[in-house]
Structure 1
């Protein structure tokens, strides 16, 4: 545990934001630099089969220390941070023994308040790591990386803890939906795995959104505004009209639990051409298809309403709900639940209102639920992590490995 925080702070010093516009893998050079740093640490730990491939995927193994058969277990985290907020020059601050009230984030003028973030009320007495209010922190998912490596180091240092083979993997570009694209499940070698990519302590997730993305392109006609009468068709106005045709109550800020949504993620353009980028989410596959059909219908309706100009839509599926791939293997969930209970943690089984590498890996033949990291408020400048929660994540990883060996005897 001594090196957990040190590792985490070292990892967040790397700017690893992924970039959807890049076609390279990894999409940004910072991810490759972090991968090389982690590779050197895995080699120092004398792990087996340490391998960093040309696409930035990093893997290694801790061999079994028992003579009987134990299923090989994987632990996975991603190296990139979200494009939603800057990940450059992260300046973490540690709040020891938090006793409530607001937390000022450096000199930025930003604050964390229990009124806005009620989770803080549950963290009195814990030590927290926050941002300085100018960048995200990177607990999503560098906390997971630090926790996995710390757990592996602990198992190596304590050979009296029996365990089977443990496979670890660190992926690039998860935040832009590509983390599982080039992941070699067969070479990884695990029978099942866990992503360590969740939030508050106790989270255990094995169902997630079905996901698609949609790009609505509005084509107009640009003419000098002084002579535009009956000639100009303003694509930006068409784009605004399309957004007004979408259900205002079915957005991320108006939904929770198992409710799906349409999310206008970005808008670009001008008079001649404008583009709207959406993400579409629903836990039920049929409802996702209905949402996609609805958007297509709105495009057709708008094309009938505008005598000039044209609107088109391109919809692409991103990932599906891992539940159908994990539920046939209930022992995977039970193993994680029991590990948490053994560590005096109450499991909080809930759906992921998002996705992880585990969703797509489950459909590639590697059942892969998600476990907490102890992080909060991901993807923004108010992100923070509980050091106590991070230590509990390490305990759970170790306990999963130990219990798997015990169950196999």
Structure 2
């Protein structure tokens, strides 16, 4: 059996090429993809898939990229897909990314040249202590890197190229799926499940080497609108009830030591205001609500409304609306019904010579929603770290292990078929 090797550095070359393409998504855009520039990367990925022999590779009008690596086994096997997203986060600039490879890292501070105030220190990034001797890729100090999730794209592409070059390595039908707009929660809004034609899959969008995540947050979004009473400020005594001040009072009334991202970790959930705007007459806040069980999630929504009512009781002429909408749900409920999917993922990681770490993620992936669309889908490490920030970094050697893991997953399903 052939073994994957990045001997000619095609893996980092792919990654660097993808990182230089600006694919930042836009939560305020109503289109799909939310930014047309995401299609620039989509076209590049389709071209590369065609060049390695994936003859049905295509990008649809919504910016989703599909491709098929045909089965070379005589067994009846399930169809597996591997998925990563093309967009980068709106939280930090993704324009004019300049990737830098720091060869054979020795534990030193990584000072980024375009803004020397941006320094990546081992003291702040604990996983760097496991990277001595490895090659670390960063941005230059003024942008994010885009390893979230272009590391995953490069790893899936490398695995696809490996399978096409090594027909003696037996596997079932493998589908490739690259999505837009994951960072703004729309990554699978327009996915064509019929075109994908898979039974289950794996997102390649995790952090630490060896991690496999079979549990995510359950997530709701909430829109709170306060309707106050506006009058001329010179004649406002006893009349005005400012929606801005009422909203500020509600936000101040929420807990500061619990139920907030700054004070929670592990399996603790939160209520998090992400934007506010308004005038005296009307003000609005957008929240994200997160926890690992639907019961706790619902309780947080109820707590938010109780807080609103308690504050509004002091303002009899004012009113509110609170709309809570489901965003995604904890994929563990689905994956627990299909244990082999996670078990084989763990075995694939260990075959790559890595200790597997089965864990939860304080966030969501495309796999969260795909699992509830009938495609169970845990999340495998891609090696990305400090994502959504100028300190983002990825290890080439961790990326190599992710490629090996993808290959191993397909091989294990064929062996057990």
Common topology (TM > 0.5) = yes
Residue 53 of structure 1 and its aligned partner are, at CA, apart by 1.1
2:206 is paired with a residue whose SS is coil
Spell out the pairing of 1:9-408 with structure 2 (5 A cutoff): 9-108=16-115, 109-248=117-256, 249-408=258-417
Residue 224 of structure 1 and its aligned partner are, at CA, apart by 4.6
Q: Is the 8 A contact 1:106 1:131 kept in 2?
A: no
CA distances 1:261-282 after superposition (whole Å, capped 9, x unpaired): 1112122234333222111001
CA distances 1:18-39 after superposition (whole Å, capped 9, x unpaired): 1111111001011112111111
Query: For 1:72 and 1:389, how far apart are their aligned partners in 2?
Result: 26
Tell me the TM-score normalised to structure 1 length. Answer: 0.96
CA distances 1:111-156 after superposition (whole Å, capped 9, x unpaired): 1112222222221111111122211111111110110001110111
Query: For 1:99 and 1:217, how far apart are their aligned partners in 2?
Result: 52
CA distances 1:270-301 after superposition (whole Å, capped 9, x unpaired): 43332221110010111111111111222222
Residue 401 of structure 1 and its aligned partner are, at CA, apart by 1.3
CA distances 1:302-360 after superposition (whole Å, capped 9, x unpaired): 22121333332221110111111111111111111111111111111111110011011
Residue 234 of structure 1 and its aligned partner are, at CA, apart by 2.5
Residue 79 of structure 1 and its aligned partner are, at CA, apart by 0.8
Q: How many residues align?
A: 408
Q: Is the 8 A contact 1:73 1:401 kept in 2?
A: yes
CA distances 1:135-181 after superposition (whole Å, capped 9, x unpaired): 11111111101100011101111222111111010011111111111
Residue 223 of structure 1 and its aligned partner are, at CA, apart by 4.3
Q: Which of 161-170 and 126-135 deviates more?
A: 126-135
Residue 246 of structure 1 and its aligned partner are, at CA, apart by 1.2
1:201 is paired with a residue whose SS is coil
Q: Is the 8 A contact 1:201 1:345 kept in 2?
A: yes
Query: For 1:263 and 1:9, how far apart are their aligned partners in 2?
Result: 34
Query: For 2:282 and 2:106, how far apart are their aligned partners in 1?
Result: 53
Q: Which runs of 5+ in 1 are unaligned?
A: none
Query: For 1:272 and 1:86, how far apart are their aligned partners in 2?
Result: 34
Query: For 2:320 and 2:150, how far apart are their aligned partners in 1?
Result: 41
Q: CA RMSD in A?
A: 1.5
Q: Is the 8 A contact 1:185 1:365 kept in 2?
A: no
Q: Is the 8 A contact 1:213 1:278 kept in 2?
A: yes
The alpha-carbon distance between structure 1 residues 310 and 398, as it changes in their structure 2 partners (threshold 3 A), is same
Q: Is the 8 A contact 1:48 1:63 kept in 2?
A: no
Q: Is the 8 A contact 1:104 1:112 kept in 2?
A: yes
Query: For 1:264 and 1:379, how far apart are their aligned partners in 2?
Result: 18
Query: For 1:216 and 1:290, how far apart are their aligned partners in 2?
Result: 16
Residue 222 of structure 1 and its aligned partner are, at CA, apart by 4.2
1:311 is paired with a residue whose SS is strand
2:56 is paired with a residue whose SS is strand
CA distances 1:81-111 after superposition (whole Å, capped 9, x unpaired): 1111111111221111111132112231211
